[in-house]
Chain A
Amino acid sequence: MTTAMTTATTTGLPVDLPDAVIEQLGRELDEIYDATIASLGADDERYIRRLIRTQRTLALGSRVAMLAGAAIRPRGLLGRKVGPTGHRAGAALLAGGTAGLGLAKILENMEIGHNVMHGQWDWMNDPEINSTVWEWDTVCSSDHWKHGHNIVHHTWTNVLGKDRDIGYEIMRTTSEKPWNPVYLAQPIYNTLLALLFEWGVGLHEIDFDKLAGGTRDEKIEQLELFQGFARKAVRQAAKDYVLWPSLAGPGFRDVMAADAAANLIRNVWSYVIIFCGHFPDGVHLFDESVTEDETRAGWYLRQMLGSANIDGGAAFHVLAGNLSHQVEHHLFPDMPSNRYSQVAPRVEALCARYGLPYNKGPLRRQFGTTIRKIWRYALPGGEDKIATAPAVPGS
């Protein structure tokens, strides 16, 4: 399906569907949700438990491999001199451990942590695997994340002036946002954000304007948020950059660098996937007026128009935390993520039936248009490319 593009400067609802039809669409989406939730069972439970066990085994195994690599690389086990073979084996263990830990962190943050915190697994009634207690392996604290992401972003998706995830406050990603010379530098700080993504996410909840110039109460509130962030960040940094490296003794720097590289792998990957969720060409933005008297069906419609999917195989979707099914995730944020690929064809078929755009594409298209946007909107002006209804056969 090719999606027609148009340029638009208004951000009202771009589709002209009568209210009754939107409500009908809402009922059909409710049916998909209800049928899926009703079918949850032992297979789903096995999926998440096995994934958590695999992730933890991988994380621990990778750290042990790093320590072993750091131990044999410079001088061999027990101080015996090693030749180039030993040196290469040590370097391979370090590299393998780095890749493994990066992968483990990706799985923990995306397919496990993000989704558990959405309440996707609360139905299991497990005291550990649920949204109230899960703490994930990043410098961002779960409490902050659940507020900024689950409440603000998922309720106010793509509403200008409400959703702090539009350009993450620091970037201009739409012509609706007035230009400012600071944005000239956004290609640079966009790159920095990719490299330091977990730190950006961790600080995202803090409102630095209020911290600097707010009322006394606002300052205290923001300061407490910052302290919460700092506590978590210190623990995370101590683990990766002091404690585990210290076990390597003289290989301290090797392990510290390997941990930093693992965090970097996770940062860049999650940045790429998350930026593809709402920034590619075709996604819609909305005026706050759209949300006045918005029904649940209207909210569904906004989620569908404001999100973009990435094509890929089963392994890709797991590594993307199934955020490659961003449309389905935004429609049903608390549906277990292993079910998104199952409902996606139904959602796409519904879109076709109602003449709605369904934004999906390969990673290079979704990420390419995102980056192009960030570069283009660094300069003044620009026109948003909005997906319009595809031609509906027979209508």
Chain B
Amino acid sequence: MPVLDIARARVTDVVNAFATPLKASHYVELVNPLWTSHKLQARVEEVWDETADSRTITLRPGRNWRRHRAGQYVRLGVPIGGRRFTRTYSISSSPERRDGCITITVKVLDGGRMSGHLVRELAVGSYLPIGLPQGEFVVPDSTPVRPLFITAGSGITPVMSMLRTWDLVGNMPDVAHIHYAPHRYDVIFATELARMAERHRRFRFEPVLTRELDGAVEGDRHFGAAQLDELCPDWRERDVWACGPQSLLEAVEQHFEDAGRSRYLHIERFRAPLADVPDDAEGGEATFVSAGDRVTALAEPATPLLRVAEDAGLNPQHGCRMGICHTCDVPLVAGRVRDLRTGDLIDEPGQLVQICIAGAAGACELALTTPSN
């Protein structure tokens, strides 16, 4: 087998030598963007509106896709106004799906640039950069479990992938599922879930509607101990998977910690719990990551981050130090920086930052190792 691998690598080298300085895959992309090996893209096959503010997008990933495990998420890039933005979405389809497609279901978040674009403007037939499936929010294949799912809003998507798989294969375990949504018509996949509950007696679906139509709520219908006892009396005997907004996850975490059952709780977050940075925040802790080393330094608001890094004993690649040559460009990992020339804020992870003319605007983290082909 290794001999075969070596032979294949040699052939690939020779074929690529014809395309230098590119790879042969760059020319394959001209024929079909799904056949490339130098990057992974997916074609938008179908868009389907689920509720007023959510939409399911069917994607056909390229040849190098690896089948996901139910519950995993994927990174998706979308160019908006010419700029690429990347977000992660849980896959809502079953890995057992036969046509090689996956689905994600996106709900418009308040002020969400990417979710708004995906739900309102995405065109069928476009190609989007996609990552490989990732994440540990999965149900073990081997050991039998009695899951309790607690989800809210679009947090239902990874759980949907699990339920669809059991439904398709026909081995639905004893499942209790509590799902929160504002109104009846906000419940994503409502019809499919109702049918599933009819088909499988061991699947119990408990939708909790947190608001009446006129906005008045009769008592608190959000997650709580008494409500859990009522909807799922045997919760102490179950493994729990929870996915939803930060407030729900905090309440669930607290409850299971108090009950001494934290180790049975699995959580999927939409985003890392970062403190909000006020708009006028300036300066802050700058962290530079380079070959696994992390160096943190306090950055004055008007000091270029290149200077901050140098003062901290680092030697980032740089050139003109006046914002014209782009030798010092490094990707932003997290946090926010300010272009000292224009005052514009940059807070998009992955965005290249010219550190010779950018200062910290709150805490920020930059990857000093330059990406290479």
- List the interface of chain A (C-beta within 8 A of B): 34, 40-46, 53, 56-57, 60, 118-119, 122-128, 130-133, 135-137, 146-147, 150-151, 154-155, 232, 235-236, 238-239, 243-244, 296, 299, 333-334
Shortest Cβ distance from residue A7 to the other chain B in the assembled complex, whole angstroms: 32
Number of chain B residues whose Cβ lies closer than 8 Å to a Cβ of chain A: 35
- The residues of B that contact A136 with a CB separation of less than 8 Å are 21
Instruction: Pick the residue among B17, B30, B354 that contacts A243 (CB under 8 A).
Output: B17
- The residues of A that contact B81 with a CB separation of less than 8 Å are 41-42
Binary interface profile of B, 66-86, with partner A (CB < 8 Å = 1, else 0)? 000000000000010111110
How many cross-chain pairs have Cβ atoms below 8 Å apart between A and B?
110
- The residues of A that contact B354 with a CB separation of less than 8 Å are 119
Identify the closest chain B residue to A296 (Cβ): B322
Instruction: Pick the residue among B19, B22, B320 that contacts A154 (CB under 8 A).
Output: B320
Tell me which of B22, B26, B351, B370 has the highest count of chain A C-beta atoms within 10 A of its own C-beta. B22
Verify A125–B352 contact, CB threshold 8 A.
yes
Shortest Cβ distance from residue A150 to the other chain B in the assembled complex, whole angstroms: 4
Q: Does B191 contact A (CB under 8 A)?
A: no
Verify B82–A122 contact, CB threshold 8 A.
no
Q: Beyond A135-B21, A150-B325, A333-B324, is A125–B30 a contact (Cβ under 8 Å)?
A: no
Shortest Cβ distance from residue A315 to the other chain B in the assembled complex, whole angstroms: 22
A53 to B27 Cα, complex, angstroms: 9
Verify B39–A127 contact, CB threshold 8 A.
yes
7 additional contacts, CB 8 Å, given A132-B371, A150-B320?
A46-B82, A56-B22, A125-B352, A132-B352, A146-B319, A150-B324, A296-B322
Verify A45–B82 contact, CB threshold 8 A.
yes
- The residues of B that contact A41 with a CB separation of less than 8 Å are 81-82
10 residue pairs A–B, Cβ–Cβ below 8 Å: A42-B79, A43-B82, A53-B30, A119-B325, A130-B329, A136-B21, A150-B324, A150-B327, A151-B319, A154-B320
- The residues of B that contact A239 with a CB separation of less than 8 Å are 17-20
A378 to B350 Cα, complex, angstroms: 52
Shortest Cβ distance from residue A311 to the other chain B in the assembled complex, whole angstroms: 26
A44 to B370 Cα, complex, angstroms: 25
- The residues of A that contact B84 with a CB separation of less than 8 Å are 124-126
Instruction: Pick the residue among A126, A127, A128, A151 that contacts B327 (CB under 8 A).
Output: A151
Instruction: Pick the residue among B18, B85, B370 that contacts A244 (CB under 8 A).
Output: B18
Identify the closest chain B residue to A30 (Cβ): B341
A226 to B82 Cα, complex, angstroms: 38
Verify B319–A150 contact, CB threshold 8 A.
yes
Q: Beyond A60-B30, A239-B18, A243-B18, is A133–B371 a contact (Cβ under 8 Å)?
A: yes
Identify the closest chain A residue to B370 (Cβ): A132
Tell me which residues from 50 to 93 in chain B have a Cβ below 8 Å from any Cβ of chain A. Answer: 79, 81-85
A248 to B273 Cα, complex, angstroms: 60
- The residues of A that contact B83 with a CB separation of less than 8 Å are 45, 123-125
Instruction: Pick the residue among B18, B30, B348 that contacts A56 (CB under 8 A).
Output: B30
Binary interface profile of B, 122-140, with partner A (CB < 8 Å = 1, else 0)? 0000000100000000000
